[in-house]
Amino acid sequence: MTILASSLPSYLRRRARGAQSNRAGRFEPREAEAFDDGWDIPEEETLLRTEVRQEVPRSALSYNRSPDLPFDRSINPYRGCEHGCIYCFARPSHAFLNLSPGLDFETRLIARPGIAEVLERELRARSYRVAPVALGTNTDPYQPCDLRFGLMRQILQVLARCRHPVAITTKGTLILRDLDILAPMAREGLVRVGISLTTLDAGLSRKLEPRAPTPQRRLEVIRQLAGAGIPVRVMVAPVVPGLTDAELDAILSAARKAGAVAASWIALRLPAEVSPLFQEWLQTHVPDRAAKIMGRVRDMHGGRDYDPAWGRRMRGQGLWSDLIAQRFDKAVARLGLAQSLPRLRSDLFTPPEAAGDQLRLF
């Protein structure tokens, strides 16, 4: 049951969830609020559980023309994300499904079984032109439900068979399950991985990213990926001014020690419904710092909660943005981290063959 309300019924217990409410999306005509008028029969306390529905995918590849992104195509095997990161810029995408960007985003997920077969069909098209495909650009492809559905492994098997380049972004430890596919691809220059680290403070991470692996587990993922010969970039994302920015150097140092060879950073982004959800989180977890944090966020976005302009939305602008960028640049230079990884190879791609295709002689 979807409850589009700014406050939830008292009998619903939120354990390890990021959002404090199920605030209605911007496309909903009305918003309801739970209210006890004294006449209701007392409800037994109920844990808010994760529900995963299934969708038949019509397409696998999504294309973009954003100048802020280093790729023009991506694959999203899931909609919504159980990690529940309160700062997630993808939360507003749930509003297009008539679901709340709040708790619905992290409890009402959609899996897309069959997406690997659709991808194979798209890669086989005569009009297809190969370029690196990104995974994990909207929601995490290695979130907990992939243990049940295994969509990432199926996608990687298709990409590996036709030697297609891929860039993966994740917080999930499930990526280690697929080392047997990723390591051979890395040896051919076909894969790179970005691991997102927001803080090294396990307590803060538990509040910001309640169902994501702990920072130490993510560092171990970097260590094992690097040990398997897979190029790893640590993504300090997002940097929350006034909350996590002081950890920038420590995060980069820990990731470098674990084996990361490159690094990047992205400023906190609060598009659409994310801003009120994040401000609710601030008032719940760090009320004494809420005004300071939002003040710095607005300083970085021209006085607004968020500036969506290309060229500014990822880093912001102004004093705080400049200070973070300078600290980042000095740290990566000191640690010997690159700010970009070598280009992935596209010249090895061979379109997947369909049953009944004539075999190539050469």
Using pLDDT thresholds of 50, 70 and 90, give the confidence band for residue 37: low
pLDDT score of 159 more than 70: yes
Q: What is the mean pLDDT of the chain?
A: 92
CB-based contact 262:233 (threshold 8 Å): yes
Homologous superfamily (CATH) of 50-335 is Aldolase class I (3.20.20.70)
The encoded tokens of residue 338 equal 């690159």
User: Residues 251, 177, 211, 66: is their CA dihedral positive or negative?
Assistant: positive
Q: What is the mean pLDDT of residues 201-221?
A: 98
pLDDT higher than threshold 50 for residue 2: no
pLDDT tens digits, 143-155: 999 999 999 999 9
Residue 194 carries which DSSP code?
Answer: E
Alpha-carbon distance of 84 to 16, in angstroms, equals 8
64-109: pLDDT as tens digits: 998 888 899 999 999 999 999 999 999 999 999 999 999 999 999 9
**DSSP state for residue 174 in the 8-state scheme:** G
Q: What is the residue-wise DSSP string for 133-161? A: EEESSSS-TTSTTHHHH-HHHHHHHHHHH
Q: What confidence tens digit (pLDDT) does each residue in 297-354 have?
A: 999 999 999 999 998 999 999 999 999 999 999 999 999 999 989 999 999 999 998 7
- Partnered with residue 169 across adjacent β-strands are 194
Task: Flag whether pLDDT at 207 surpasses 80.
Answer: yes
Mean pLDDT score, 243-255: 98
Asked if pLDDT for residue 359 goes beyond 80, the answer is: no
Q: How far apart are CA 226 and CA 260, in angstroms?
A: 7
Is 1 a residue whose pLDDT tops 50? no
pLDDT of res. 227: 98
Task: Give the Å distances, CA to CA, from 280 to 82, 207, 228, 290, 332.
Answer: 19, 13, 41, 9, 34
Distance from the Cα of residue 328 to its chain's centroid: 21
Contact between 272 and 95 under an 8 Å Cβ cutoff? The reply is yes
pLDDT of residue 54: 97
Please say if the pLDDT value at position 237 is more than 70: yes
Structure tokens at 226: 């690097």
pLDDT of residue 297: 97
Other C-beta atoms lying within 10 Å of the C-beta of residue 212: 26
